[in-house]
Amino acid sequence: MELVERIISNPVMMEYVWKPLVVILILLFIVLTLVAYLVYAERKVSAFIQARLGPMRVGPYGLLQPLADLIKLLLKEDLIPAEGDRAIFKFAPIMSVVCALVVLAVIPFGWGVATITDINIGLLFILSVSSVGILGIILGGWASNSKYPLLGALRSSAQMVSYEVAMALALVGPLMFAKSLSMTAIVEAQRADHIWYLLYQPVAFLIFLVAGVAETNRTPFDLPEAEAELVAGFHTEYSGFRWSLYFLAEYTNMLISSAIAVTVFLGGWSFPLLDRLRPEHPGLFTLLSILVFAVKVFVLIYIFMWFRWTFPRYRYDQLMDLGWKWMIPATLANILITGAIIMIGQETLGLTKVTGGEYGERLVVPGLAGKAYFIGMAWLVLVPLTWIILAIINRRSYDFNLRAQRQIRLPERPATDDVFGKV
């Protein structure tokens, strides 16, 4: 009994088991509730876009809808295909969800305690773990022993492989400035430099955003679960709570994609002028930093939802086209051109300096001239040059040469309705 007490109150246990456990529980509670309300938000956003009301019945403005959905999903019958691989079928959604949730550990939600862990390979960790999550989709599709899920899983694997590459390469550009893989270091670098890397790296941001949409299987890249073609894609045979695990993973992934984009390109939890609060009111600053981060993430999530309810769906070959012929060359060009811009700025013009700090070395652009140079080069040279390179690569591509909008030609008729009397 004493031993147990000793183990519990052991400072090492305290530091490495109990404290993290509490943090994990809090985080999971927050994130899972958030995900449930993301579904609600998605429905409300889609309703807003589609000129209707969305959920209104359960609670005021349908606010209790996620709870009702949860109860419904828990009570639903859990079906397993008779010919399916039962063990893998049960294991696959768990794998998806676990991989999605593990990534949350390294995301800096805010300053101070809101940064749960900061490992120096943060970005790599995220990329590698989330690519394991894809296995959950593939295994789920395969274990169902049904053709639609199989096709969905195949599409999914091809799509993920292609877009992982683009996603990872897109992150290289900002990393050249931050010179660190640690998420907190990237935020600190942007904060110290008073800049968002979006301004230095517009191409990388765009590609990361598109790849992020593709990674989370959302329209226009929702081919693995293309409703109209593959019924429900890889989760056709899933029902009840197993299905909702996939759903959970999808929305968590959306959250994570936006969180990475915010961290790397939009300055994370930092916000101009807010820094002055830090020395005097650290508690308030932490709270505000979380708020800033949340607002930025939700703006991106809204954009994700906006995409989903506005765009049609790509076809499989067009998706591959976009991935391999447009996004990967664009990221490579981005890396090369950014490298050249940094070289010129650093060596020839001497606009930058490398400073050491709490998180190791990083590139800092002290003067206004330097910032103007990097931003100008990014928007006036990097963007057009990347576009030209893409145009050259894809000059024979069907998509690039897509004929201009056609119109049904009719004989000229009076443009007004006067001919037809009062309308």
Residues contributing to the site for another protein (CB under 8 A):
46, 49-52, 147-148, 151, 155, 219-220, 222-223, 226-231, 309-318, 398-399, 402-403, 405-408, 410-411, 413, 417, 419-423
Least distance in Å: CB of 220 to another protein? Answer: 5
> Cβ closer to another protein: 52 or 395?
52
Q: Is 349 helix (H, G, I), strand (E, B) or coil?
A: coil
Contact criterion met (CB below 8 Å) for 39 and 251: yes
> Cβ closer to another protein: 280 or 420?
420
> Cβ closer to another protein: 42 or 188?
42
Contact criterion met (CB below 8 Å) for 366 and 353: yes
Least distance in Å: CB of 137 to another protein? Answer: 17
Cα–Cα distance measured from residue 197 to residue 381, given in angstroms and rounded to the nearest whole number: 16
Least distance in Å: CB of 132 to another protein? Answer: 26
Cα–Cα distance measured from residue 336 to residue 391, given in angstroms and rounded to the nearest whole number: 17
> Cβ closer to another protein: 37 or 311?
311
Task: Kindly report the backbone phi and psi dihedral angles of residue 236, in degrees, each rounded to the nearest multiple of 5, phi listed first.
Answer: -60, -40
Residue 241 corresponds to which tokens in the numbers above? 């709570």
> Cβ closer to another protein: 151 or 183?
151
What b/e string do you get for 257-276 counting C-beta neighbours within 10 Å, with b at 16 or more?
bbbbbbbbbbbbbbbeebee
CA angle (31, 217, 109) in 5-degree steps:
30
> Cβ closer to another protein: 6 or 147?
147
Residue 125 corresponds to which tokens in the numbers above? 């960790």
Task: Please give the single-letter amino acid code of residue 190.
Answer: Q
Least distance in Å: CB of 67 to another protein? Answer: 25
Helix (H) or strand (E) holding 148, with range, is helix 147-178
Beta-strand relationship, 353-355 and 362-364: antiparallel
Least distance in Å: CB of 79 to another protein? Answer: 16
Q: Find the radius of gyration of the CA atoms of the chain.
A: 24
Question: Quick one: which of 294, 312, 310 has its CA closest to 258?
Answer: 294
> Cβ closer to another protein: 27 or 213?
213
Least distance in Å: CB of 351 to another protein? Answer: 38
Least distance in Å: CB of 158 to another protein? Answer: 10
Contact criterion met (CB below 8 Å) for 141 and 234: yes
> Cβ closer to another protein: 52 or 276?
52
Least distance in Å: CB of 308 to another protein? Answer: 8
Residue 353 corresponds to which tokens in the numbers above? 């300096």
